[in-house]
Chain A
Amino acid sequence: MIDTEGRQTRPSGASRRSQDQTARKTFLVITLLPFFLIALIAIALIIRTWPILRAYSPASLVFGTVWKPDNGQFGFWPFITGTVWVTVVGVILSVPACLLVSLYLSEYAHSTTRSITKPVLDLLAAIPPVVYGVWGLLVIVPFVEKILAPLSKKWLGAIPIFAVNQPTGFSILSGGIVLAVMIAPLIISVVYEILSTVPNDLRHASLAVGATKWQTIRQIVIPQVLPGIVAGVVLGASRALGETIAVLMVVGNVAKVPTSIFDPAYPLPALIANNYGDMMSVPLYDAALLGAALVLLIVILIFNIISTLVLQRMLARKKA
């Protein structure tokens, strides 16, 4: 309603209150939807997994190391460890470089550099996973096999996690490299946005008392946004945990618990994608594959809960 001078008329108090109530309720319902969704997905998975949970104990499924569905052996441990290895390697390779890039972009870079770099990063984020997979197959797998593996054999071979136990480049390291490149744009853009929330006054004050740029970054900027940086890394890692096609094309898909980054692995998402086709024939197989999906969901939930706790502690300490 608009009065003669073009101003909005004030609705009556009652109608304003009811508007407010309606808005509140609508927003609440929409906010609660994700909880219902997670619960629904979990319940559906548990129902479909039930046949195998009745036949085997959860511990024997989770910690079993043999996967031979035709013989009725369903051990998820190689897949769980495979998922964790590939993700950890990807995050370790990606995070340091991502932090440096976002710090450079936010603190040092000229605005022209920034305006060129950002679209390129967005483009990297938009490349479909299957393209990363093909690139990994054609470039990264041979690179690991012909260059990194021989180097590691020569210099680091005595350390178990760098031991070269198999001769091909299909390995956790290849999967980790592909993942690192895939999650980098995500981490960089989140961390960059967070860094740009630090008020410039703080930077100016620090520089004014004679601190160098590097000192300012280390003592002023980073402590301000540390929880945000952790949140960005968690987001990248969550993406890495669930990545399927790009990883399965380069990781070798061998259902054995890995001991070295040069071992092949078989992450949970790859298990589900690869064996979708046998679901209809082998007894209990569909229950086992949906069980794999349930395990993946639980792994991601545990990961997110732990990182939320870490984040809260950091925030609490910052306030103290």
Chain B
Amino acid sequence: MFFSTIIAFSLMLSACASAPAPASSGTQAPGSSIDSLSGNISVSGAFALYPMMTVWAQEYQKLHPNVQFDIQGGGAGKGMTDALSGAVDIGMVSRKIKPEEETKGAYWVTVAEDGVFPVISAQNPVAADITAKGISQDTFKKIFMTGEIKTWGEVVGKPEVKDAIHVYTRSDSAGAADTWAQYVGGKAQADILTTAIGVNGEPALVDTVAKDPLGISFSNLGGIFDITTGNVVQGTIVPPMDMNANGQVDAGEFFKTMNDASSAIASGKYPFPPARFENLVTNGKPTGLVLAFMNWILTDGQQLLEQAGYVKLTPAQQAESLAKLK
């Protein structure tokens, strides 16, 4: 399903209301007024960044009422292709930028950290065992890469349970799929089990798993947790990840809320991958309004990340990204 939202808030701030100035945007020429910024910014790409981008756009528009946004989802691949072909100003790409893309002019900065998480249906027949024992990286490998594990019984060590595992992946080009493939021992999306059913778009994928008791797949932070409540999407569970492979769920291995998940990523306890950086890509070095907006995301916009349950950059990463925009 193609997420397509056009944000066109007519937030006409009344003349007497003074717009709060960004504290450290550093992009304004001295003496120029804040509201001299006007124009359109079009953005497309990763579903992982999509909800956050709408928050950034709303806030930015409060500061600069003359700036209009056009934001679409479509997956990391769409973001990259759109940015390089000039269809949008900014592409959201939730994976590493490939060297071939850089030679074609992709200029990227990291704006947030995020993670890809496994997801199963809440009606899974062995849900109780899974939430008690967790699933180890090795088991994920055997489910998503080699296909050695075919039944839910094998996952929890109960051979009498013969229910087949339904592995789902993304059919469209997705950063989440690339990142998850790297966690389970592959390199790219194409390495995930060839018999996995491909579903188009992250919202449809999560919905499919929620409805299929025998399904398993992966999704990013913003796709599996509800950004307003912080709980997992109804009908799904993020199965605990048995990171030390001791056959039981220890503290910090079960992510029930968005806060659990994002703090595990922020503290570095969540493995990398499936933790990953979220990038914004432009065709060549950004200038003008796009540059101002990206600078704002890397400064004031970082605070919004935390409020929304995402993971902001460390000061060192933030400085590195800002330096790339200089």
Contact = CB atoms under 8 A, between A and B. Distances in A.
B190 interface: yes
A226 to B, nearest CB: 40
B200 A254 contact: no
Contact of B77 (A249, A256, A275): A275
B80 interface: yes
B276 interface: no
Given A274-B172, A280-B84, A283-B100, A167 B1 contact: no
Contacts of A137: 204, 208
A70 interface: yes
A253 interface: yes
Instruction: Among A168, A254, A264, A280, find the residue whose CB has the most chain B CB atoms closer than 10 A.
Output: A280
Nearest to A69: B190
B198 A274 contact: yes
A282 B178 CA distance: 13
B158 interface: no
B166 interface: yes
A274 B77 CA distance: 9
A221 B316 CA distance: 81
A70 B188 contact: yes
A277 B81 contact: yes
A93 B66 CA distance: 54
A296 interface: no
Contacts of A266: 198
Contacts of A278: 77, 173
Contacts of A249: 1, 200, 204
Instruction: Among B2, B76, B198, find the residue whose CB has the most chain A CB atoms closer than 10 A.
Output: B198
Contacts of A212: none
B104 interface: yes
Contacts of B2: 130
A276 B77 contact: yes
Contacts of B80: 277, 280-281
Contacts of A292: none
B245 interface: no
A278 B45 CA distance: 12
A255 B189 CA distance: 13
A282 B197 contact: no
Interface residues of A, number: 33
B171 A270 contact: yes
Interface in B230-267: none
Contacts of A130: 1-2
Interface in A263-298: 264, 266, 270, 274-283
B212 interface: yes
Nearest to B175: A277
Contacts of A41: none
B128 interface: no
Contact of B190 (A70, A168, A277, A283): A70
Interface string B163-192: 010100001110000000000000110110
Contacts of B166: 167-168
A134 B1 contact: yes
Nearest to A142: B211
B198 A277 contact: no
B313 to A, nearest CB: 25
B98 A281 contact: yes
Contacts of B172: 274-275, 277
A277 B194 contact: no
A281 B100 contact: yes
Interface string B60-93: 0000000000000011111111001100000000
A148 B34 CA distance: 62
A188 interface: no
B47 to A, nearest CB: 12
A248 interface: yes
Nearest to B196: A254
B187 A276 contact: no
Given A142-B211, A283-B100, A264 B173 contact: no
Contact of A254 (B76, B77, B198): B198
A274 B211 contact: no
B175 to A, nearest CB: 10
B35 interface: no
B211 to A, nearest CB: 7
Contacts of A68: 190
Contacts of A254: 194-198
A276 B2 CA distance: 14
Contacts of A67: 190
A264 B197 contact: yes
Contacts of B198: 252-254, 266, 274
A134 B214 CA distance: 21
A277 B204 contact: no
Contacts of A277: 74-81, 172-173
A19 interface: no
23 contacts: A67-B190, A70-B191, A130-B2, A137-B204, A142-B211, A166-B197, A167-B166, A248-B200, A249-B1, A253-B198, A253-B199, A254-B197, A254-B198, A256-B195, A264-B197, A274-B172, A274-B173, A275-B172, A277-B74, A277-B172, A280-B100, A280-B104, A282-B100
The 3 A-B pairs of least Cβ separation, nearest first, read A277-B77, A253-B198, A277-B173
Given A137-B208, A168-B212, A253-B198, 19 more contacts: A67-B190, A70-B187, A71-B190, A137-B204, A167-B214, A249-B1, A254-B195, A254-B196, A254-B197, A264-B197, A274-B200, A275-B77, A276-B173, A277-B75, A277-B172, A278-B77, A280-B85, A280-B100, A281-B80
Interface of B: 1-2, 74-81, 84-85, 98, 100-101, 104, 164, 166, 171-173, 187-188, 190-191, 194-200, 204, 208, 211-212, 214
